[in-house]
Structure 1
């Protein structure tokens, strides 16, 4: 989040039980935040974690070597690739 100059135009409403609200309030108090601040910062941190887990690729050292070698020394194009590239050039321009 970028800071004080950021405008906050969107709103998110959540229905929850009294027990859930009490738990959130207690946790927010421990962090010296409002419930809204606590929920937003916690939800954003979890959202970023989920995005990283689904968009980042981790490779072992052996897999990285295979991947790097394939990028550094690609095989010669076969007939199907040449045909696809010719079709692409014809379509795109």
Structure 2
């Protein structure tokens, strides 16, 4: 199974959460609502989910699972002695 790039997931999740905060602050703003829905749709496609909230949760789980592995892999690569988301 193909998995999305960690950076892409993080970027789209950040956008989704930012538009979500703006929508909560201005629920009557149609532009904000449209942008929130568009970012939710993009996150759904990226994560393979039918609901933006589920996609956001899936993205968060994915990032938690990938990040520790990336840090571990990065430490191994350096060698010893070096420092360096409405649902029905």
Kindly name which structure, 1 or 2, has the bigger radius of gyration based on alpha carbons.
1
Which structure carries more helix by proportion? Answer: 2
Same fold (TM over 0.5): no
TM range (shorter): 0.3 to 0.5
Question: Taking structure 1 as the reference length, what is the TM-score of the superposition?
Answer: 0.35
TM-score (norm 2): 0.37
The answer to which structure, 1 or 2, has the higher relative contact order (CA under 8 A, 6+ apart) is: 2
